Amino acid sequence: MAKKTTSRGKTLGTKIPPEQMDLPVTFDAAGNLVTLRQVMEPGHGSVLSLASLGPEKRAELTVKRIEAQPKFEVAMVGGGIVDKARAIEEVKAQTDIGKVLTEIEQRLIQNLLEEVKGE
């Protein structure tokens, strides 16, 4: 996914869009969702790395991220527009579209975490 400053503004002087701050980016050791804002807090506890998440947890994380967004629309040149409800179903069912969406979210999270790390 392209890493680029969005037109919706910046957060804390970074390239991170504000709406990303309260979206989950991983899980803690107890299996609770952890948002980007929590990861950025000083002294936050340990969280699971993306690489350590299995396919089911990645799909679960993707669903939670999509559910948390008031507006979610993804487009495919060939597949049309996938709205929020369909996106969630596709990810849960791990269809081809669902796998693509999961991969996109993983890349986005990775970029966000790298952005945070670079601060």
Partner 1 sequence: MPEVIERTKKVSFVLHLTVLGIDSNYEPVTLAAFQYREKYVYPYLQAKGFTVKKFQGPLARRHYVAPEARKPEVEYLTGVGHGSYNLYTGDHGDVIWQVGNYHPDEVKGKIVHLLSCQTARDLGTDFVRNGCRAYFGYDENFTFYMAEKDTFFECDSEIDKAFGDGLTAAQVYDRVKKLYD
Binding stretches for partner 1 (CB under 8 A):
2-4, 6-7, 71-81, 100-101, 104
DSSP 37-55: HHHHSTT---B--GGG--H
Alpha helices by DSSP H, listed for 20-95, are 36-40, 55-68, 84-93
Smallest gap from residue 55 Cβ to partner 1 (A) = 19
Looking at the Cβ atoms of 34 and 108, the one nearer to partner 1 is 108
Smallest gap from residue 8 Cβ to partner 1 (A) = 8
Smallest gap from residue 70 Cβ to partner 1 (A) = 11
Query: What SS3 class is residue 74?
Result: strand
Looking at the Cβ atoms of 12 and 76, the one nearer to partner 1 is 76
Smallest gap from residue 4 Cβ to partner 1 (A) = 5
Looking at the Cβ atoms of 21 and 48, the one nearer to partner 1 is 21
The whole-angstrom separation of Cα 111 and Cα 116 is 9
Contact 64, 39 (CB under 8 A): no
Looking at the Cβ atoms of 17 and 37, the one nearer to partner 1 is 17
Contact 39, 116 (CB under 8 A): yes
